[in-house]
């Protein structure tokens, strides 16, 4: 998992890991993404490679202008692989 920060050419890879099942892998990847976005904020591109699935995320704000973490990972990765 990583973040492409403004003004940078390369992704800063911030987390990696191996889990025993796809369910654990998916859960960990989504948890790591939420934590990274909560620290880094919106306006950046976040990237993950979860097994064979490449993921690109551009988080936004909710109707009140707050960083929208609620729906950030909803449907992001397939339930089964």
Q: How many domains are contained in the chain?
A: 1
Task: Calculate the alpha carbon distances from 22 to 41, 59, 61 in Å.
Answer: 27, 24, 29
- Answer yes or no: is 14 within a domain: yes
- Answer yes or no: is 79 within a domain: no
Specify the pairing of strand 12-13 against strand 45-50.
Answer: unpaired
pLDDT digits (tens, 9 = 90+) for 50-66: 888 899 998 888 888 88
- Answer yes or no: is 31 within a domain: yes
What's the rounded Cα separation, in Å, for the pair 36 and 21?
22
Residue 34's domain comprises: 2-57
pLDDT digits (tens, 9 = 90+) for 28-38: 998 999 899 98
- Answer yes or no: is 24 within a domain: yes
The answer, as to whether pTM is greater than 0.85, is: no
- Answer yes or no: is 42 within a domain: yes
Query: φ and ψ at 38, to 5 degrees?
Result: -60, -35
């Amino acid at each position: 998992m990583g973040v492409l920060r403004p003004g940078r050419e390369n992704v800063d890879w911030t987390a990696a890991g191996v889990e025993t099942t796809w369910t654990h892998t998916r859960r960990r990847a989504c948890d790591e993404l939420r934590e990274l976005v909560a620290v880094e904020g919106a306006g950046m591109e976040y990237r993950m490679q979860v097994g064979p699935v490449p993921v690109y995320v551009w988080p936004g704000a909710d109707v009140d202008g707050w960083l929208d973490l609620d729906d950030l990972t909803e449907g992001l990765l397939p339930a089964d692989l």
